[in-house]
Chain A
Amino acid sequence: MSSGSTLTEILINGVSRGAVYALVALGYTMVYGVLGMINFAHGEVFMIGMFACVYAIGIFSVAWGNHVLLNLGLGLLVAMIFSAGYGYANERIAYRRLRKAHALAPLTSAIGISTFLQYFIFLTVSKQNVGFPRYYSDMLTSNHIHLGGVDITYLQIAILGLTIVIMTGLFYLIHFTRFGIALRATAQDQLMASLVGIPVDRIIAFTFILGSALAAIAGVMVSMYDNVLVFDAGYRVGLKAFTAAILGGIGNIPGAVLGAMILGLTEALTTLGFGSEWNDVSTFAVLMLVLLLRPRGLLGERVADKV
């Protein structure tokens, strides 16, 4: 294999990994953009999405047989609904009533929810590792297309394709619809938003729901990729996605995507050069370097602009 095609493969790996981080990072950055708070229970939406999808596929295949595309599609939908429900509950339980409390109160309650959920899943369904049903993931991971000397799996294509579609849709929603104006207005001035009749509470709840549904998609993709589901997957991916959001400038949506891509590529290159066990070292080295040079993150606004 030529070194040129190796590099291309690394790039594809890095970008698809980055796309997964981006889907999760969007949830962190959107909630921060609207509330000015970090949602520390966001990582778990990813994990819930994984488990919901696998169990749903199990039920569907018993109910009407192994129709790969139908069951995968419905499984993904179930995952998004479960994660969105969790995101909504998280907003109502950990955030809404504490919106005017000291900033540490919602943060602590979110960590509580996150830990509760991890160990609830661990004790109920995940004492043994659960795998993604092979019959379904193989179709996407074993088949590939050959492009310019490298193999790209169907799964990688699906991840990239879905991410591009979602980003485009999100950009359109936020910048070209009245709902988008309401979302940005709520982020900038809650009192004024309510004075023009924007339902601030519902906009905030929707932000949690939307971010959670996106993270569920990422969860399903990763569980097919890794073929294993663990109760603390959300914590590990959540930390990376959170880092990506900070790297790009928390609150800034293109920044979250950029940060996620940089992180994905850093990990792919580290895996090649030093082995994947060095991934965390290189990831956080990049974060610290960027923050030293540019404390607001790559695309973040100056703090003075936010006030």
Chain B
Amino acid sequence: MLTLTNVHAGYGAIEVLKSLTLEVGPTEIVALLGANGAGKSTTLLTIAGVVPVRSGAITWQGAPLAGKADAVLRQGICLCPEGRHIFPRLTVLENLISGSFLLPLKRNPAKLEEIFTYFPLLAERRKQLGGTLSGGEQQMLAIGRALMGEPKLLMLDEPSLGLAPQIVAKIFEIIKVINRKGVPILLVEQNAQQALRIAQRGYVIVTGRNQLTGTGAELLASDEVRQAYLGE
């Protein structure tokens, strides 16, 4: 279980997170919603150890989560960042292998096999350069690369960004499958409706603070969420 308690974090003089509190249970999909600039990506980058915590506490499986990106990753928390960040001049296969950098190489064949069953297209394109894939294919590759690290918590930042509705549906389907196999997921999304449909719980944050929280269904039904994020 991951918990954030009154976390403050930011860049230079700008404080982005102003006392944020949230938790992700061991089998949950949790959606993190909010307007542009609310601090959703910063929340994920702070958990991942890229942005330092200024005050407040982050705990993971009962112990304080501290240290830089590689220390967090070693504890099984893996971030799939916004914009996918595929290595453009590595092949699909090399991109996937890069995801397991901290783990023994001999575990790779079995994991690759599993990822190719989620995304058969990646198997076909394994020798193609990452930069030549379409947006949807790159998102699949980004998720596949994250899974290569055998995450115990997967954080996805805007996996639907810029993708056609059909592809989005497919990606959300796979997110559900990954979760059912036992990986908790913290999901940041612009596409609030889609996110809340697969999430057990969600948080709405405004300028780095908690605004609303509830189950996926409660938030979908809430007037505030409908007006602000579902365009109704």
Contact = CB atoms under 8 A, between A and B. Distances in A.
A229 B102 CA distance: 45
Which among A191, A197, A305 has the highest number of chain B CB atoms within 10 Å? A197
Nearest to A182: B101
Contacts of B50: 191, 194-195
Interface in B68-102: 68-70, 73-74, 78-79, 81, 85, 87-90, 94, 97-99, 101-102
Nearest to A187: B89
Contact of A184 (B68, B78, B79, B89): B89
A193 B94 CA distance: 12
Contacts of A185: 87, 90, 98
Interface string B28-67: 0000000000000000000010100000000000000000
A191 B89 CA distance: 16
Nearest to A179: B101
A188 interface: yes
A199 interface: yes
B90 A181 contact: yes
Interface of chain A, helix or strand or loop or mixed?
Answer: helix
Interface in A176-219: 178, 181-182, 184-185, 188-189, 191-199
B89 A188 contact: yes
A178 B105 contact: yes
B90 A184 contact: yes
A189 B87 contact: yes
A182 B73 contact: no
A191 B81 contact: yes
B48 A195 contact: yes
A305 B87 CA distance: 12
B69 A181 contact: no
B153 to A, nearest CB: 14
Contacts, number: 61
Interface in B137-179: 145, 149
B98 A199 contact: no
A178 B89 CA distance: 15
A185 B97 CA distance: 11
Interface string A259-279: 000000000000000000000
B101 A196 contact: yes
Interface residues of B, number: 25
A198 B98 contact: yes
A197 B70 contact: yes
Contact of B101 (A184, A189, A197): A197
Contacts of B79: 195
A169 to B, nearest CB: 19
B98 A196 contact: yes
Contact of B69 (A182, A184, A195, A305): A195
A194 B74 CA distance: 12
A199 B73 CA distance: 12
Contacts of A199: 70
Contact of B81 (A182, A195, A197, A198): A195
Given A178-B101, A194-B70, A184 B48 contact: no
Interface string A286-305: 00000000000000000001
Which among A181, A193, A194, A195 has the highest number of chain B CB atoms within 10 Å? A195
B70 A188 contact: no
A196 B90 contact: no
B90 A188 contact: yes
A198 B87 contact: no
A49 B81 CA distance: 44
A189 B73 contact: no
B85 A189 contact: yes
Given A188-B90, A195-B69, A196-B73, A182 B85 contact: no
Which among B73, B89, B131 has the highest number of chain A CB atoms within 10 Å? B89
A186 to B, nearest CB: 9
Given A197-B70, A197-B74, A178 B85 contact: no
A181 B97 contact: yes
A195 B73 contact: yes
Nearest to A175: B94
A192 B70 contact: no
A196 B145 contact: yes
B129 to A, nearest CB: 10
Nearest to A307: B88
Contacts of B90: 181, 184-185, 188
Interface of B: 48, 50, 68-70, 73-74, 78-79, 81, 85, 87-90, 94, 97-99, 101-102, 105, 131, 145, 149
22 contacts: A178-B97, A178-B105, A181-B94, A181-B97, A182-B101, A184-B89, A184-B94, A188-B90, A189-B87, A189-B88, A191-B81, A191-B85, A194-B70, A195-B48, A195-B69, A195-B85, A196-B101, A196-B145, A197-B69, A197-B70, A198-B98, A305-B88
- The list of the 4 closest CB pairs from A to B, nearest first, reads A192-B85, A197-B102, A197-B101, A197-B73
